[in-house]
Amino acid sequence: MPTNRSITLTFSILLFCFENIDGFAKIRKPPMGWMSWEAFGCAKDCVTFPKTCISENLFKSMTDELVNQGFAAKGYEYINIDDCYLTSRGTPSKDSPRGDLRADPTRFPSGLSELSKYIHSKNLKFGVYNDVGRTTCAGTPGLNVSAVPDEEADKQLRRDIFVMKKKWNIDSIKVDGCAAKKNLMNITYPKLGAYLNNDSQQVIYSCSWPVYVQNLTATMTGVPGALDDNVIPWDAVTSSCTTWRIYKDIMDSYNLERHAGIRQIIGVFTTYNASLRSAQSVGAYHDPDMILAGNPGLSANQARIQFGLWSMWSAPLLLSVDLRKISDEIRNILLNEEVIAVNQDELGIMATPMILGYVMLDKAEVQLWYKPLIDGGIAVAIVNMGVFDAQKFKATFTSNDVGLQKGQHFNARDLFQRKDLGVFQGEYSTYIEATSIIMLKITVAKNK
């Protein structure tokens, strides 16, 4: 006969498990939210730039915009501080041998605990940034994870995590790899991951590890094998980290030779698709870097291409833009729940590419990407990289190309236009303009 006490105990354990599953469930999807770096960088001069410097006012203001403009309701939930919020460590103590991490008191006068409370009071989540090495990339105090057991360093690491998780109540952390030994990252990143997520308060652990251990020039020039698992220890990365940066810092440009413009990142994800696709799984996602829609360097069509492909890849959707300044057209792109659903699809699959053909001038590609969805549908993106506006490309794909049977009848819906296109048998054809993307959702229709 179970006693009352054992029934209560069993019930509490069950409840605890469900809470945990729920906690995990939320970070099993690619994170969506806002991040300061590309748009606001390391701006510290709040006298000249009071509205755009890295300060508590900026993060509160972006929290308000995320809620008031309807982003939160569509799933954008993280407000992530990137670099340049920390000042030097506090006074050393018995618990904190090197002194506690502290936000710059002039720019964050209320402190991060208060900022975190503000963000949480709006039902959003709070993320910070740090580094596995001695300092962050902008030179503020790093976590300095020791690769060997080291009493003082390990104590400090536990203390830093306590400060971040229990005092600042973070939900997410991006961990960079500046001022750190690359050859020890296979120890330091997993160690930090284990320390970070050792209790039921799970945080997103966004690592930059793969960026540091690859030869970026080889990746940039498409050298075969540049992202293979003898270069990047994929098993270790994917089991330690929730998301991880894969390439250089994104810049506000569609096409920026030798750097990370949108086209260059698409190139990396196309060339290395097979390795990247097999490394990705539910709860573990490649991060091609922030979404830049709304910034001056991208047209609306280019922004649509970025947003569409990042969704096809199940990549994090972290907006880095001054939300106070975006146009209605850009807001509509970012709030398109049908494209967001492709990004957040529970299978978490990275799409597979194929080349449909080439258009004039530098033989620009027209690509087709497809990705199976949990409801049995298939998301399809057709992207025209061409730049000759007079030339439209006739894009055709068969049911076979996107993983369906030959001759299959299917329904097609245009996700950016939010329009049903009808039923098609075995193939679909459309004209696509230069620099544009068409995103479709295909669902199997009954054969007539």
Shortest distance, position 82 Cβ to ligand GLA, whole Å: 5
What is the C-alpha to C-alpha distance for residues 320 and 51, in angstroms, rounded to an integer?
15
Contact between 272 and 218 under an 8 Å Cβ cutoff? The reply is: no
What is the C-alpha to C-alpha distance for residues 126 and 201, in angstroms, rounded to an integer?
13
β-sheet bridge partners, residue 419: 414
Pairing of strands 409-414, 419-425: antiparallel
Q: Which residues contact 405 (CB under 8 A, 6 or more apart)?
A: 399
- The pattern of x and - marking residues 158 through 177 that bind ligand GLA according to CB under 6 A reads ------------------x-
For residue 196, CA distances in Å to 149, 199, 205 come to 16, 8, 8
β-sheet bridge partners, residue 432: 393
The reply on whether position 37 binds ligand GLA by CB under 6 A is: yes
**Of residues 65, 77, 83, 365, which one binds ligand GLA by CB under 6 A?**
83
**Of residues 64, 114, 229, 249, which one binds ligand GLA by CB under 6 A?**
249
Query: Is residue 84 helix, strand or coil?
Result: coil
Shortest distance, position 191 Cβ to ligand GLA, whole Å: 21
The reply on whether position 216 binds ligand GLA by CB under 6 A is: no
Whether 414 is catalytic is no
Interface positions, 335-394, toward ligand GLA (CB under 6 A): none
The reply on whether position 259 binds ligand GLA by CB under 6 A is: no
H-state helical runs in 223-314:
234-240, 262-271, 273-279, 300-312
Contact between 346 and 371 under an 8 Å Cβ cutoff? The reply is: no
Segment contacting ligand GLA by CB under 6 A, of 66-74, 130-138, 212-220, 412-420: 130-138
- Residue 442 identity: I
Whether 83 is catalytic is no
Could you tell me how many residues of this chain bind ligand GLA (CB under 6 A)?
10
- Residue 98 identity: R
**Of residues 81, 115, 132, 138, which one binds ligand GLA by CB under 6 A?**
138
Identify which of residues 52 and 136 has a Cβ nearer to ligand GLA in the complex.
136
The reply on whether position 77 binds ligand GLA by CB under 6 A is: no
* 83, 104, 131, 176: the active-site residue: 176
The reply on whether position 287 binds ligand GLA by CB under 6 A is: no
Which tokens is 367 given?
């690509």
Q: How far is CA 238 from the centre of its chain?
A: 14
Which tokens is 213 given?
């251990």
Identify which of residues 208 and 306 has a Cβ nearer to ligand GLA in the complex.
208
The reply on whether position 82 binds ligand GLA by CB under 6 A is: yes
* Nearest residue to 281 (alpha-carbon basis) of 250, 306, 244: 244
* 229, 249, 322, 401: the active-site residue: 249
Segment contacting ligand GLA by CB under 6 A, of 65-73, 133-141, 352-360, 366-374: 133-141
**Of residues 54, 62, 137, 175, which one binds ligand GLA by CB under 6 A?**
137
Active-site residue list: 176, 249
Query: Could you list the residues that contact ligand GLA (CB under 6 A)?
Result: 37, 82-83, 129, 136-138, 176, 208, 249
